[in-house]
Amino acid sequence: MYSRIQAMLFNNLKRTSLKVTHPVSSLRNEITFPSFGNVENGFNFGLDFDGLDIRGMDTHRAYIGEIKEDTSFVRRTLEVADRTGERILVAFHDNSRGGYLKEQCKVGNTLLILYPEGHLFADGSIGFRIENEKINHVKVFPHSYERLLAANDLYFKSINRPATCSLQVCSTTSDPAKVNVATDGQFVLCKDCKVAQYCQKECQVTDWNNGHKAICKAVKDVQWITGKEWGKIDLNKATGRPVLYKQEYSMAGVTPFYGAVGDRLVVMN
């Protein structure tokens, strides 16, 4: 009976054809950042896991979804939607019951879960169950998914077309198809994100007012992702274990969502 439920839920997931048309570290890469229906080797329905099983995984991967609703009661429980619009649950079963992310887990923010493994909850819901050993695989960005994608696109545009003004319709020309190079050979670089560049100060001011102000911080945050080498998992020469990406959190002084924090201290590099 249980296996039939698993099969039914698994088959109803929104799967998409995986297309490798974007750089491996781009948020638009559907292999590195799969939707829930395309999470591989992760459907350990109804099972508890003591650690991450990465057998057969040759690249770093992460699920990304925007927080749509906070349904927390005893523990922090979030309803999250990925690029397909599929809504799933993220429930925190760590010692603090999600207390360490209380201030970050707001509706409209975006959740990233490294090395995702799907879970079937007792009520039939599907999603991710965050245990103590999974805490350092969770990161929350204070931006919508759409804003992160815009920041991602700006970042890769700056790499692929380094001699282009970041203003979509540059003020030095009425033809947006032209490549607009700085008149004096030097671009004006955004001092905050260090990614957006402009052929003149007027273009920078115009772009700031047209939307760069909204995504500037997101550009800086998205570089936490784009700055990593997602295409290969290296092994620690001393231990032979895989070197995985982690997010820093300290449980010291954390007010739990419910219950006691315990003596767990998570410090990562």
- Phi and psi at residue 226, in whole multiples of 5°? -65, -20
Q: What is the pLDDT of residues 53-79, one digit of tens each?
A: 555 567 788 999 999 999 998 899 999
Q: Are 88 and 12 spatial neighbours (Cβ–Cβ below 8 Å)? A: no
Mean pLDDT of all residues belonging to the chain: 77
Q: What is the pLDDT of residues 180-203, one digit of tens each?
A: 665 556 788 899 988 888 888 888
DSSP 202: H
Instruction: Give the pLDDT confidence score for residue 55 in this predicted structure.
Output: 53
Helix (H, G, I), strand (E, B) or coil at 208: helix
Any idea which fold 2-142 has? Answer: OB fold (Dihydrolipoamide Acetyltransferase, E2P) (2.40.50)
Mean pLDDT of 44-58: 47
Instruction: Give the pLDDT confidence score for residue 17 in this predicted structure.
Output: 55
Q: Is the pLDDT at 45 greater than 50, yes or no?
A: no
Instruction: Give the pLDDT confidence score for residue 71 in this predicted structure.
Output: 93
Mean pLDDT of 143-147: 95
Q: What is the pLDDT of residues 3-30, one digit of tens each?
A: 444 544 555 555 555 555 788 899 999 9
- Enter the tokens of residue 236: 């620690």
* Residue-wise burial string across 255-264, b where 16 or more C-beta atoms lie within 10 A, e elsewhere: ebbeeebeee
Instruction: Give the pLDDT confidence score for residue 105 in this predicted structure.
Output: 92
Q: Are 81 and 87 spatial neighbours (Cβ–Cβ below 8 Å)? A: yes
Please, which pLDDT band fits residue 233 given cuts at 50, 70 and 90? Answer: confident
Cβ-count burial of 43 within 10 angstroms (0-12 exposed, 13-18 middle, 19+ buried)?
middle
Q: How far apart are CA 258 and CA 265, in angstroms?
A: 17
The secondary element (H helix, E strand) that includes residue 4 is helix 2-11
Q: What is the pLDDT of residues 202-211, one digit of tens each?
A: 889 999 998 8
Q: Is the pLDDT at 162 greater than 70, yes or no?
A: no
Instruction: Give the pLDDT confidence score for residue 266 in this predicted structure.
Output: 33
Pairing of strands 197-198, 188-189: antiparallel
CA 249 and chain centroid, separation: 16
Beta strands in the chain (DSSP E): 62-70, 77-81, 87-92, 110-114, 119-120, 126-130, 138-141, 188-189, 197-198
Instruction: Give the pLDDT confidence score for residue 63 in this predicted structure.
Output: 95
Please, which pLDDT band fits residue 46 given cuts at 50, 70 and 90? Answer: very low
Q: Is the pLDDT at 118 greater than 80, yes or no?
A: yes
Please, which pLDDT band fits residue 143 given cuts at 50, 70 and 90? Answer: very high
CA distances (Å), 88 to each of 36, 68, 74, 120, 153, in order?
8, 10, 18, 10, 26
- Name the pTM for this structure: 0.77
Instruction: Give the pLDDT confidence score for residue 20 in this predicted structure.
Output: 59
Range scoring the smallest mean pLDDT among 120-129, 150-159, 238-247: 238-247
Instruction: Give the pLDDT confidence score for residue 88 in this predicted structure.
Output: 95
- The half-sphere exposure of 94 on its side-chain side, counting CA atoms within 13 A, is 30
Helix (H, G, I), strand (E, B) or coil at 189: strand
Cβ-count burial of 42 within 10 angstroms (0-12 exposed, 13-18 middle, 19+ buried)?
buried
Instruction: Give the pLDDT confidence score for residue 188 in this predicted structure.
Output: 85
105, 118, 216: which is closest to 166 by C-alpha? 216
Instruction: Give the pLDDT confidence score for residue 262 in this predicted structure.
Output: 35
Helix (H, G, I), strand (E, B) or coil at 70: strand
Q: What is the pLDDT of residues 235-266, one digit of tens each?
A: 777 877 777 777 766 544 444 443 333 333 33
Q: Where are the chain's structural domains? A: 2-142, 147-226
CA-based R_g, the chain, Å: 21
